[in-house]
Each structure stands twice: as C-alpha cells, then as structure tokens.
Amino acid sequence: MPITAQQLLQILPNAGHVAGVFVPALNTAMNRYQIVGTQRVAAFIAQIGHESGQLKYMREIWGPTAAQARYEGRADLGNTHPGDGSTFRGRGLIQITGRSNYKTCGEALGLDLIRQPELLEKPQHACMSAAWFWATRGLNTLADEGKFETITRRINGGLNGLADRQALYARALKVLA
C-alpha cells in the first residue's frame, strides 16, 4: 500500500509542500526495493526523515566540520582524488557519502554520479538512492525484526540523532497502522 502525502505530512510535519513532490518518488523507490508493509515503511520514513531534516536537505551541509574534513583522502570511502571529500559529501535522503559509494550507487541506478554527483539532490534520485542503500544493507530484514538501533548504526555509523529517529518511527507506526 503506497504512502499518501497526508500520511507523509503526519509523520514529517516539517516537510511542508515538498511532501507532495516526494510521495510519487518515494512510492516508486520503496516498491522497487520491497520496502513494503508497516514495519519497513515506518522504519524507512523515520530514518530518511531524520537524515534529510524532514526532506529539507538533499546535500550534507558543508563546513567543513572536523568530521567532514576527515572525508578527504579516506580510502574506505574511495576518496582518492584531491577534493573528493567535498565533491562526494552526503547526498540524497540517506546521505550517500564517498566516491566509491557514489560509483556503486550510480551503477545500480544507471546514473553517472562520478561526473554528476548533484543528481542525488533531485527527488527521484534522492529517493531511489536511499531505497537502494536500504536494500543493499539488509535493512528490510532488520526492520522486520524491529532492530531499529541496528538500522541506525548501519545508516549513520553510530546512534547520532537516535531520539529523533525513534520519535519519527513511533509516529510513523501510528500513522501507518
């Protein structure tokens, strides 16, 4: 069952008018990657809601902060060229980060994200990249098992923003029930 704009706004009230723009792209992406059923959809919407500031940010806000400065030259992210840290900063609803992740995601979605990383800022690609990330990290299974903290760690590398993510998840479960 697809999510409606009204449901999305109940879960992410700060999304405002952009909720309607994202609903078709979200439904297409969730359907493609089997993010279906209350548990999966609620967990997915909660996580992307937190990561994107309720659909406000499709690109990581760049300082660079100390943590962001460490993106530069990180082999585990594939950031091997000068400037890769900033060029391949987090983008999309789940904040795909690093040259190698952009390359793999681009291959999966049929996009040249190395030459055009900003494509992940467009709603359809922001949604599809998030659903691709979700599916390739086994997050449907974790959502089915109710392992929300483990999902958060896989997306974020830690538990940053856990209280907000959990609040969005609780709201999503109520709205989608």
What whole-number percentage of the chain has pLDDT above 90?
A: 98
What's the whole-number mean pLDDT along residues 30-55? 98
Radius of gyration over alpha carbons of the chain, in Å?
15
* Residue 120 DSSP class: G
Domains, in order of start, for the chain = 5-58+122-176 (1.10.530.10), 66-119 (3.30.20)
Query: For the residues 119-142, what does the mean pLDDT come to?
Result: 98
Average pLDDT over residues 7-29: 97
Mean pLDDT for the stretch of residues 146-168 = 96
Whether the CA torsion 150, 105, 33, 168 is positive or negative: it is positive
Question: Is 51 known to be catalytic?
Answer: yes
23-32 long-range contacts (CB < 8 A, ≥24 apart) are 25/123, 25/124, 25/126, 25/127, 25/128, 26/127, 27/2, 27/3, 28/124, 28/127, 28/128, 29/124, 29/127, 29/128, 29/130, 29/131, 29/132, 30/2, 30/3, 30/131, 31/2, 32/128, 32/131
Which of the residues 51, 107, 145, 149 is marked catalytic? 51
